[in-house]
Structure 1
Amino acid sequence: MDREITRRALVGAIIGGTAVGGALSPVGSYLRRFAPLSGEAWGTATDDTDGSVESEYGTAALRYDEDGVPNITAENERALYFAVGYAQARDRLFQLDLQRRLMSGQVAAVVGELAADSDEFHIQMDFVGAAEATWKHIADTDTGELVRAFSAGVNAHIENEPLPLEFGLLEYEPAEWTPADTMLMEKQISWELTGSFLTLRKAKVASKLGQKAATELYPERLDHDSPVIRGTDEGTSATSANSSNSIPAPDTTDPDGIGTPLLDWLGNFERDHGIGSNSWLVSGKHTANGKPIVANDPHLSLMAPPVWYEMNLEQGDTRVRGVTFPGVPFVVIGENHAGAWGFTNAGADVIDFYRYEIDGDRYRYKGEWRDFETQQREIEVADGTNRTTTLRKTVHGPVLERDGYRVGVAWTGHSATDTTLAIHEYNTSDGVDDLRAATKKFDEPTQNLVYADRDGNTLYYTTGKIPRRMVDGKQVRGDRIFDGSAGEAEWKGFEPFGVSTWEGFVPFDEKPHVTDPDLIATANQRITNDPYLSEAYASPYRAQRIYELLDEKAKSGDIDVATMEGIQDDTLDKRAEALVPTLVEAAREKGEDGLESAVKTLSDWDYRMERDSRAALLFVQWFDAFREEVFGKTFEQAGLDDSYYSRDWVLAHLRGSRWFGSDGRKATMVRALETATEAIDASDAEVYGDYNTTEAITHPFDQSFLNSPVIPTDGSSQTVNNYRKESAVGSSWRMICPMKGDSEAILPGGNSGDYFSDHYHDQLKRWADTKYKPLTHEIRGNVAVEFGGDR
């Protein structure tokens, strides 16, 4: 077997998202022959670095504390971020390069054909063009100068130090890092949080199952009493009385709705709709010491190394500690000397789709024919035949095409953005006024911001540009495919691959926000009752539970860090609380017949998804079987896979013979319980922890020595303590920051991406057990690297 092909095929299969099961087994077997510390692939890998590094930006020092977190001090900001770039390259260089290649469509060049489809999508979306526009926009700012220093620090490590083992396995070297690459990381983050083809999926379901079914499966509103901002029915001023909110019937000129080949292809590259987050803040009114507390645990893809990188920075009077995405210089979530902030996804609809009248290489727009802006791009394919793909753009943005189907895209991330400026200003902010001013610049992605400062101020704000869509003078939702040739629902002021204005978007002061809230909790649920903010919010189970716990704890007025720990560790699944009593009743009515043990187990259960619980194992298997009982046959007959299934909340509230047949809902629930019981009996699992392990947290190479250790843990997709083994999504960073007292946090792994480091996965067990480590601004550790002037 050719060594080069097998190495590349393995990574290509993982990144390309196209290989399953046995397709990887021969490759995996071959790579397992590369035992740690043997063979030429390991020759360049080491965690040793020079203790002294030249820097034109000034002096700095890099220390590592007992958890492998870089503690960096510097005489000025440029010197600081040069050292940050060096540290990130030292700890996460392969991750930086892999992310850059993914977003620029250059993965197939090092791993082969299996990544070519991914490269084609990323080229057609032209994320690179958006990153270059953003860099051009901020290059001459003070923040831009810091991004240059950061890039120089990354390159200093590339040029002078040994490369991580992954480069040895693939036998290539990374190109130099550029400031535009950092902007590309911003685009990656934004796409992973807002990139959705749900509009196209809805249209497809309507074309296959009918308008009524599509409306039932994708309702405009999930009725519950736990929105982010409670006690308001009016929404924001973005609301209009004139609305058209129903899912449109499919375009009859296209009998297949949206082309299945196009939609199936795009489905590989949209954000994981299971991705979510929790955050909440409590004002001093309800805390034991009279000062606010901020808590945040963003739910993102779990991997080795983790998606987040922690750092502790000191320069002058500024002290800032928290996490960032590798490739981004500044702390994205964390706390500084003045306050603390966290984010969750707001779920705002910031992407629209267009159909056009097309004549060859022209499209019709407002009564005239225009040429597509067209570029031919070559996709280099290692050990294979290079591909050519066409990048087409209209006045709205890029055009995605596959097998003769096309759809135009407008996405706020395609415009030049100021978010990098905002995050830098968060790091140096001196309180709530500074933070609010910086948030005005935070135009991508749309997030729920929670903030508190040490003076006792609290703040909630929805960040990002939220489009207002107008058709015939009426505001509409973005849940349809618009007529691009007619200029329908265009966003005023939007300039793809240029600098946009706020015209056509919800003004900053009119976006949902609360000044000095006593309690506020965000879990990707509905923000207000404004129907135009989002196309789809998350099921509200986590939000309901957080507010339930906060309201109860607030009565005593003595909330503290331990209280927050208990909430982050909470495993009560409100799906089970709502559904299991009906399930038990249905099984008993049927006469149980072989389900006696299952019924007893569920009837005695407290609905907590704990690792030592058999009932939790039974419930998670039952819910999956129930989903399949309800949707499986109908969707399969329509040619729709499980990516079209509706959210858990919708499934739990569905009624009617369309979904449950003549036997009814209760009979369907019992059949699912029979299936779940059989599945458990056929497995080796006895309790939830036998199933719910960290096995899903893998390295892109998916090899046992690089993957995370297998540890049982708690939580489910709908619990506050969040872990979703089936999709490898969960709490990617847990943080609790009191404005008086000691902060704490934990990563699901380790801060170093170097396999040979003691900090490769040293935090994982603590994370699995919902334990924490200190989040201190004290500079710790011995000096590992000194940075100085030219020598």
Structure 2
Amino acid sequence: MNTETTRRALLTAVLGAGVGGMTLTEARSYLDRFAPGSGSVWGAADSDIDGTVESSYGPAEVTYDDDHVPHVEADTERAAYFAVGYCHGADRLFQLDLYRRLMEGRLSAVFGDRAVDSDVFHRQMDFAAAADATWERTRETETGEVVQAYVDGVNAAREQESKPLEYRLLEYEPDEWTPQASLLISKQISWGLTGTFRTLRTALARESLGAEPTEELYPRLMAHDDPIIRGGDTPESTQHTDTAVPEAGMVSWLAEFETRPGIGSNSWVVSGEHTASGDPILANDPHLNLTVPPVWYEQHVVGPDPLDVRGVCFPGVPFVIIGQNHAGAWGFTNTGADVIDFYSYETTQDGGYRYGDETREFDSRTETVEVADGKDREVTVKRSVHGAVLSQFPDGDDLAVADELGVAWTGLSATRTVEAVRRLNFADGMADAKDAIRVFDEPTQNFVYADRDGNTYYWVTGQIPIRTSDGEVVEGTRIFDGSAREGEWGDGYTPFGTSSWEGFVPFEEKPGVENPDYLATANQRLTNDPEHYLSEGYAPPFRGGRIYDLLDARAESDQPMDAEFLREVQLDTYDPRWDLFRPIIEAGKRKDGKDYTRLGYDPYQVLADWDGEMKPDSVGALVFERWLRVFRRRFGEKHLADAGLPEDFPEPNDWVLGTLSLNDSDGRWFDGDDGLQVAAAFAMRRATEEIIDEGWDDYGDWNQVRFTHPFDQDFLNYPNLRTAGSPGTVRNFHSEESTGASWRMLATFDGESRAVLPGGNSGDYFSDSYADQLRLWADGEYKPMDRGLPDGTDLRFEEGSR
């Protein structure tokens, strides 16, 4: 049978058509592969590579523990990371390959025309060229040598281990892994955290709604009192109004490829002044996409002294990104810094563009997007002096020249982040950690650190541009006129090349605190008094404010902040949105004459008795969450859709929505004196109708783990589990978006560090560790994260024992 036809048929089944939609011959082929005991897909099995891993770099000992975490030990760093690469290749090969194909714009070659939209965008952004530039900068360094050893290990596993089930389903072979591919994974993570098209959406909203309403609905700075670094007066929010307006269709298309709602994180560090042990404690739970398998891979690596590090990395990237070594522990949350800008151009008749007093040619080439069992597509890849140029819709139609958009993003340059992370793994204390994050170029992150000497530390990492127009510093809240050289990033940025990073915010001038007693980050505003423009917008203050409330109360009590208390903080399910919206719901009750007998309870009484905790067995949590969704949706329909904005245009965040609602004294948003009450009552009636129709009895009936494999087939997906948390709680969870705590870690210096993944460390469907941590994660439990062998012995050999 023709391989391409079979592959296409399997893809159709995998992506939702089901076997019933195939021809008889195709269905037989599909079913034959699943024949128990004999079908080809069942040939894949969990790797068992415990023992010595040999390589040209030397031997390494690999021991998997009961959670399928590899403990790797070697005399040389390159031997150790060859073994790490082998583990990644054995456990997560399809995930590595999928991420690389995504960023290179080569998904369609395997998955068909459903992936063309994605491939066109990623080709035009040319992330692959940025990874090439990063490797050129890295390859001659010590870090480059280690990355190459890791890559060799991935390829050894690719050649020697059984192929994952996914390859057997799709009948294709994974390409050779390369150093550029590993660096491309880093670009993918950075883009997911900093690649936002907020500037374009805001410009579109301003055109449809007007400047003042747009500022109210989408403020750059929210007027709350819970920044990361506390103190000072709340700054005023301002946005530029003089800007070009993007094409609405382009904005909707690009929204598919930016940071998803719910991407964020929590972290905090507490000094020994407040702990029972007298040592600091660090907590981190990064909120990312919750996928099958998880976005993180846990590992423990011991190499030449002092390398002894355990934590999580992104599969495809060698080094521990969040974790703990012999001296300290560290974590990251997203800063939200504005590191991307957009440019319009005045073009010439021959296809060039004006740049100041010059006329320049776009660097342009045509590439072919291969489409499995379909028509290949041509895509134009353009560059300007600023970076990538988006010039084509996925259907192949060129945009009008006036709608072409230049994109400058810090990740399009050669960056040093992989070197920074390697240095962190070796760091022998706070001084080393500070030196490491100086070269952490992307993404911009809130870095928290604690060490065995009692130090605590917080600093913002990543390159943040200082923009100038006509020599004056400007903010990045508009689409710049690239031809007039507005919004220039100085002389230090070279897209797709090596940047000097001159003209960017100096490291010492980024927000930071050395040795705070305690400090918490939750993607909220960094500081009330920044020295430079930093961001177009931050997360609502619900999580950050709640964490500080809990830490403040404990600090003022007679009880220390021990590990058990800080686990309770990380798993806190009180939703501060309830405090904001409760008076609105109570006002709506006065206008609501509905008989709720069919529901079986009075929703207003349930909420009056509710404690605000978003727990699975709570009826109040169910009513509140569903009410808020209807209230938010109705507001968006009335004020956004009616203004002509695209259907998928995001509503204002919940802090803005609640604050506007409570302060709508002139009836601007809710049609007069009783408009808010009517809207609140309507939301309750509609929400309870949905609850009845869906048959939900409590919050857990709706709020469930729904983590799906890229193929979204029941047998590959994780099981649905009831769980706690909401978008507003510290225990963060977005059920519909499948975002939340992608790794929970609590690092201590008394041997009791603990952590958990939302799933399993193995990406092999046949492995016992495919989803073995999922129940722990859903139930708010942890497992040990020590740096010893499974039998409790120290992994590091004594000197001379070899």
Please give the range of the TM-score, normalised by the shorter of the 2 chains.
over 0.9
Instruction: Give, in angstroms, the shift of residue 361 of structure 1.
Output: 2.2
Instruction: Give, in angstroms, the shift of residue 232 of structure 1.
Output: 3.6
Note if contact 2:185-2:317 (Cα within 8 Å) is conserved in structure 1.
yes
CA distance in 2, matches of 1:49, 1:474: 61
What is the aligned partner in structure 1 of residue 293 from structure 2? 305
CA spacing shift, 1:10–1:728, aligned 2, 3 Å? farther
SS at the partner of 2:404?
strand
> Residue 391 of structure 1 is aligned with which of 381, 399, 408?
381
**Counterparts of residues 549-588 of structure 1 (less than 5 Å):** 549-555=550-556, 556-588=558-590
CA spacing shift, 1:732–1:37, aligned 2, 3 Å? farther
What is the aligned partner in structure 2 of residue 248 from structure 1? 241
Map Cα deviations across residues 433-483 of structure 1 (whole Å, 9 max, x no partner).
000011111111000000000010010000001111123443322110001
CA spacing shift, 1:712–1:244, aligned 2, 3 Å? closer
> Residue 739 of structure 1 is aligned with which of 740, 743, 749?
749
Alignment partner of 1:667 is 2:667: no
What is the aligned partner in structure 2 of residue 264 from structure 1? 252
CA distance in 2, matches of 1:71, 1:36: 36
Instruction: Give, in angstroms, the shift of residue 34 of structure 1.
Output: 6.2
Greater shift, 456-465 or 579-588, is seen at 579-588
CA distance in 1, matches of 2:140, 2:13: 42
Letter in 2 for 1:734: R
> Residue 261 of structure 2 is aligned with which of 270, 273, 281?
273
> Residue 687 of structure 1 is aligned with which of 674, 691, 698?
698
Instruction: Give, in angstroms, the shift of residue 379 of structure 1.
Output: 0.6
CA distance in 1, matches of 2:608, 2:764: 47
What is the aligned partner in structure 1 of residue 631 from structure 2? 626
> Residue 455 of structure 2 is aligned with which of 457, 472, 475?
457
What is the aligned partner in structure 2 of residue 358 from structure 1? 347
Note if contact 1:616-1:688 (Cα within 8 Å) is conserved in structure 2.
yes
Note if contact 1:135-1:179 (Cα within 8 Å) is conserved in structure 2.
yes
Map Cα deviations across residues 201-246 of structure 1 (whole Å, 9 max, x no partner).
11111112222221111112101111000114599xxxxxxx9942
CA spacing shift, 1:287–1:54, aligned 2, 3 Å? closer
Map Cα deviations across residues 672-720 of structure 1 (whole Å, 9 max, x no partner).
11110111111121000000111x2110011111111111000001100
CA spacing shift, 1:716–1:23, aligned 2, 3 Å? farther
CA spacing shift, 1:211–1:153, aligned 2, 3 Å? same
Alignment partner of 1:654 is 2:647: no
SS at the partner of 2:133?
helix
Map Cα deviations across residues 462-518 of structure 1 (whole Å, 9 max, x no partner).
000111112344332211000100111110111111111232111001100100001
SS at the partner of 1:58?
coil
Please identify runs of 4+ aligned residues in structure 1 that moved more than 3 A.
Answer: 21-41, 48-54, 232-235, 588-596, 655-658
Instruction: Give, in angstroms, the shift of residue 591 of structure 1.
Output: 5.2
Letter in 2 for 1:482: F
What is the aligned partner in structure 1 of residue 735 from structure 2? 725
CA spacing shift, 1:140–1:654, aligned 2, 3 Å? same
Letter in 2 for 1:247: H
Note if contact 1:7-1:111 (Cα within 8 Å) is conserved in structure 2.
no
Note if contact 2:670-2:679 (Cα within 8 Å) is conserved in structure 1.
yes
Note if contact 1:9-1:114 (Cα within 8 Å) is conserved in structure 2.
no
**Counterparts of residues 464-543 of structure 1 (less than 5 Å):** 464-492=462-490, 493-529=492-528, 530=530, 532-543=533-544
SS at the partner of 1:358?
coil
CA spacing shift, 1:456–1:488, aligned 2, 3 Å? same
SS at the partner of 1:363?
strand
Instruction: Give, in angstroms, the shift of residue 39 of structure 1.
Output: 6.0
What is the aligned partner in structure 1 of residue 436 from structure 2? 438
SS at the partner of 1:608?
coil
Letter in 2 for 1:408: G
CA spacing shift, 1:571–1:116, aligned 2, 3 Å? same
> Residue 343 of structure 1 is aligned with which of 329, 332, 336?
332
What is the aligned partner in structure 2 of residue 214 from structure 1? 214
Higher relative contact order (CA 8 A, sep 6+): 1
Instruction: Give, in angstroms, the shift of residue 632 of structure 1.
Output: 1.1
Map Cα deviations across residues 67-92 of structure 1 (whole Å, 9 max, x no partner).
11011111110000000000001100
Instruction: Give, in angstroms, the shift of residue 145 of structure 1.
Output: 0.3
Note if contact 1:312-1:779 (Cα within 8 Å) is conserved in structure 2.
no
Instruction: Give, in angstroms, the shift of residue 541 of structure 1.
Output: 0.2
SS at the partner of 1:149?
helix
Letter in 1 for 2:331: G
Note if contact 2:289-2:739 (Cα within 8 Å) is conserved in structure 1.
yes
Letter in 1 for 2:241: P
Counting matched residue pairs gives: 762
> Residue 380 of structure 1 is aligned with which of 342, 348, 370?
370
Identity across the alignment (%): 50
Letter in 2 for 1:577: D
> Residue 614 of structure 1 is aligned with which of 619, 630, 637?
619
Instruction: Give, in angstroms, the shift of residue 23 of structure 1.
Output: 10
CA distance in 2, matches of 1:27, 1:621: 39
Map Cα deviations across residues 558-614 of structure 1 (whole Å, 9 max, x no partner).
111101110011000100122123312430465565487001100000111000001
Structure 2: gaps (5+ residues): 794-802
Note if contact 2:34-2:42 (Cα within 8 Å) is conserved in structure 1.
no
CA distance in 2, matches of 1:119, 1:106: 6
Q: CA RMSD in A?
A: 2.3
CA distance in 2, matches of 1:634, 1:230: 34
CA distance in 1, matches of 2:653, 2:182: 34
CA spacing shift, 1:35–1:365, aligned 2, 3 Å? same
CA distance in 1, matches of 2:239, 2:453: 46
Instruction: Give, in angstroms, the shift of residue 44 of structure 1.
Output: 3.7
Note if contact 2:53-2:61 (Cα within 8 Å) is conserved in structure 1.
no
CA spacing shift, 1:262–1:9, aligned 2, 3 Å? farther
Greater shift, 772-781 or 448-457, is seen at 772-781
SS at the partner of 2:649?
helix
Note if contact 2:116-2:371 (Cα within 8 Å) is conserved in structure 1.
yes
CA distance in 2, matches of 1:727, 1:244: 29
CA distance in 2, matches of 1:548, 1:306: 31
Letter in 2 for 1:661: D
Structure 1: gaps (5+ residues): 14-20, 236-242, 252-256, 784-791
SS at the partner of 1:660?
coil
CA spacing shift, 1:707–1:782, aligned 2, 3 Å? farther
Note if contact 1:287-1:560 (Cα within 8 Å) is conserved in structure 2.
yes
Greater shift, 739-748 or 612-621, is seen at 739-748
> Residue 760 of structure 2 is aligned with which of 740, 747, 750?
750
What is the aligned partner in structure 2 of residue 55 from structure 1? 55
CA distance in 2, matches of 1:532, 1:576: 32
CA distance in 2, matches of 1:373, 1:181: 24
CA distance in 2, matches of 1:623, 1:234: 27
Letter in 2 for 1:648: D
CA spacing shift, 1:616–1:27, aligned 2, 3 Å? farther
SS at the partner of 1:462?
strand
CA distance in 2, matches of 1:260, 1:25: 38
What is the aligned partner in structure 2 of residue 239 from structure 1? none
Note if contact 1:147-1:329 (Cα within 8 Å) is conserved in structure 2.
yes
Normalized against structure 2, the TM-score is what? 0.92
CA distance in 2, matches of 1:331, 1:459: 19
CA distance in 2, matches of 1:487, 1:88: 45
> Residue 273 of structure 2 is aligned with which of 260, 265, 285?
285
Letter in 1 for 2:8: I
Normalized against structure 1, the TM-score is what? 0.93
CA spacing shift, 1:396–1:544, aligned 2, 3 Å? same
CA distance in 1, matches of 2:119, 2:137: 26
SS at the partner of 1:73?
strand
Letter in 1 for 2:147: V
Instruction: Give, in angstroms, the shift of residue 25 of structure 1.
Output: 9.3
What is the aligned partner in structure 1 of residue 8 from structure 2? 5
Note if contact 1:69-1:311 (Cα within 8 Å) is conserved in structure 2.
yes
Letter in 1 for 2:635: V
SS at the partner of 1:674?
helix
Greater shift, 46-55 or 261-270, is seen at 46-55
Note if contact 1:64-1:782 (Cα within 8 Å) is conserved in structure 2.
no
Map Cα deviations across residues 161-206 of structure 1 (whole Å, 9 max, x no partner).
2100000001001111111111101100100000000100111111
What is the aligned partner in structure 2 of residue 407 from structure 1? 405
